[in-house]
Amino acid sequence: MKMLVLGHGYTAGFLTPLLRAEGWQVTGTTRGARQRVAEAGAAPLLWPGDETAIRDAIAESDAILVSAGPAEGHDPALKAFGARIAASRPRWLGYLSTTGVYGDHAGGWVDETTPLAPSTRRGHERVAAEREWQALAQSHDLPLHIFRLAGIYGPGRGPFAKVRAGTARRIVKPGQVFSRIHVEDIARILMASLNQPRSGAIYNLCDDDPAPPEDVIAHAARLLDLPLPPAEDFATAQMTPMARSFYAESKRVSNELTKRELGVSLLYPDYRSGLAALLALEP
């Protein structure tokens, strides 16, 4: 079996070893990080650069995962390779989206049936990309699976370095909660979908414990036995527009459908278990 990942980045780096362990051959596109892709176990192709080889890989692939996000108002994979993917008719087609498509729910729960109402530019772009992929899938009978990812953390993407450096911030906005997910659980859920495909499926990928972001930073400091970073009021905190935009939405994301349908038990059902595992990995 052959898998092509269009946009072989952080998440694919954890998926590829699982695929290889089950006998898959993996090819991944990258803008320039050939060595990183190869170290994960995938054959690297440059995109842009190796378009002819990528089109050949599409034709030969049993499964295709689209991990590249929207750029300049359009989905780059769909624009460059949509027609080729439609003609190749893979057995499984996955698209990595975001829970940002749901918008703000003032801390309330959302699931896969919740109407999409994004409040950020990034969210609007993801909704547009989802609909474009769904239209392609419907018109060509493609087995599309959409995965809406919460905030991703994992090795190299935890809060410990900032806590140690004294640069971590506990931004407090009353009622603010985020959902998150460990990258290893993302990879395991994608594998479960490959083994139990359902054309047209949409899954939320998140853990069981939505939590205020300041609680995560505080727990990391406690694990390190370091002082808690001082709390800062969101209303007056100095933040970049990008950082502030992440606080525009507050919601609790349900993963019940994902767990029930795919039979996945999360390795890290909450940030406490996930942070403990990250700390144990450190030398």
CATH number at residue 68: 3.40.50.720
Give a yes or no: residue 238 inside a domain: no
Give a yes or no: residue 136 inside a domain: yes
Q: How many other C-beta atoms lie within 10 A of the C-beta of residue 212?
A: 19
Our CA angle for 35, 36, 40, nearest 5°, is 110
User: In angstroms, what is the C-alpha Rg of the chain?
Assistant: 19
Four-residue CA torsion sign, 77, 81, 83, 89: negative
Place of tokens 């694919």: 12
H or E stretch including 44?
A: strand 43-46
Give a yes or no: residue 224 inside a domain: no
Per-residue pLDDT of the chain (283 residues; tens, 9 = 90+): 999 999 999 999 999 999 999 999 999 999 999 999 999 999 999 999 999 999 999 999 999 999 999 987 789 999 999 999 999 999 999 999 999 999 999 999 999 999 999 999 999 999 999 999 999 999 999 999 999 999 999 999 999 999 999 999 999 999 999 999 999 999 999 999 999 999 999 999 999 999 999 999 999 999 999 999 999 999 999 999 988 988 999 999 999 999 999 999 999 999 999 999 999 998 7
Q: Is the pTM of this model over 0.85?
A: yes
Give a yes or no: residue 212 inside a domain: no
Give a yes or no: residue 72 inside a domain: yes
Q: Which domain holds residue 68?
A: 2-157+181-207+253-267
CB half-sphere exposure, 226, CA atoms < 13 A: 19
Give a yes or no: residue 74 inside a domain: yes
pLDDT of residue 73: 76
Distance between CA atoms of residues 277 and 224, nearest Å: 13
SS3 2: strand
Give a yes or no: residue 199 inside a domain: yes
The number of distinct structural domains making up the chain is 1
Give a yes or no: residue 66 inside a domain: yes
